[in-house]
């Protein structure tokens, strides 16, 4: 007899605990406004990432197509994965002196781990993180990017 009573006790205890859980799910069923799902591909136009979001490394250019990179390759030395390659060239200046200038700044997005060391160590603040996060492409070669735009040159420092 006791066994039967225990059986029913267990049964009702089980149903009670299940109903306790159902209470929580039921609450959200009738309060759909408290659910915070983001409809991702639909909200692409409105979606704004945080300013510091580490999307990918970019080199900002101003309106004269000038950047700040002096090709010192500190970023290349500090990169733990070898995803940055700075190729420099010697250019003869107007006063006849030879000066090192940036030729190509190669950034391999496929190798980057977004640790942010390159941007932290850059003495000129020539590279920054952009907020783009949609990196999917059809082949791997597209992930090797040249950051300096064609025909760009070094922005001369304005002496204060």
Partner 1 sequence: MEDLIIDNNTIQEEEYIINMGPQHPSTHGVLRFKVSLKGETVLNVQPHCGYIHRGIEKMCERLTYPQIIHLTDRMDYLSAHINNEAVCLLVENALQIEVPERVKYVRTILSELTRLASHQLWWCAFGMDLGALTTYFYGLRDREPILDIFEETTGARLLQSYNTPGGLMNDIHPNFIKRVKDYIVYFRKKLPEYDELLTGNVILQERTNDIGFLTLEDAISYGVTGPSGRASGFACDVRKHHPYSAYDKVDFKEILYTKGDTFHRYKARVEEMWESLKIIEQLIDNIPDGDFTVKMKPIIRLPEGEYYQRVEAARGEFGVYILSRGEKYPYRAKFRSPNFSNLSAINLLSAGHKIADLVAISGSLDLVIPDIDR
What residues numbered 131-160 form the site for partner 1, per CB under 8 A? Answer: none
Residue positions counted in the chain: 160
Q: Measured from the CB atom, is 18 or 137 closer to partner 1?
A: 18
Q: Does 120 bind partner 1 (CB under 8 A)?
A: yes
Q: Which is nearer to partner 1, 35 or 136 (CB)?
A: 35
Stretch that binds partner 1, among 103-111, 117-125, 134-142, 151-159 (CB under 8 A): 117-125
Residues 86-115 that bind partner 1 (CB under 8 A): 113-115
Give SS3 for 114: coil
Does 33 contact partner 1 by CB under 8 A?
Answer: no
Query: How many C-beta atoms lie closer than 10 Å to residue 8's C-beta?
Result: 9
> Residue 96 gets which letter from DSSP?
S
- If one asks whether residue 82 binds partner 1 (CB under 8 A), the answer comes out as no
Based on CB atoms, which residue is closest to partner 1, 48 or 97? 48
| 11 Cβ contact list (under 8 Å, min separation 6) | none
- Taking CB under 8 A as the rule, does residue 30 contact partner 1? no
Distances, alpha carbon 67 to alpha carbons 6, 17, 56, 57, 121, in Å: 79, 65, 17, 14, 17
């Amino acid at each position: 007899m006791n066994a039967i009573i225990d059986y029913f006790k267990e049964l009702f205890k089980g149903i009670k605990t299940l109903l306790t859980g159902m209470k929580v799910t039921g609450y959200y069923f009738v309060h759909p406004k408290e659910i915070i799902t983001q409809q991702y591909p639909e909200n692409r136009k409105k979606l704004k990432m945080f300013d510091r979001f580490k999307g990918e490394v970019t080199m900002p250019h101003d309106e004269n197509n000038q950047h700040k990179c002096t090709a010192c390759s500190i970023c290349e030395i500090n990169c733990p994965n070898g995803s940055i390659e700075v190729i420099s060239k010697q250019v003869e200046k107007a006063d006849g002196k030879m000066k090192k200038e940036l030729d190509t700044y190669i950034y391999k997005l496929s190798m980057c781990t977004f640790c942010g060391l390159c941007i932290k160590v850059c003495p000129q603040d020539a590279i920054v993180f952009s907020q783009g996060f949609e990196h999917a492409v059809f082949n791997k070669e597209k992930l090797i990017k040249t950051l300096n735009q064609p025909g760009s040159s070094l922005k001369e420092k304005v002496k204060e």
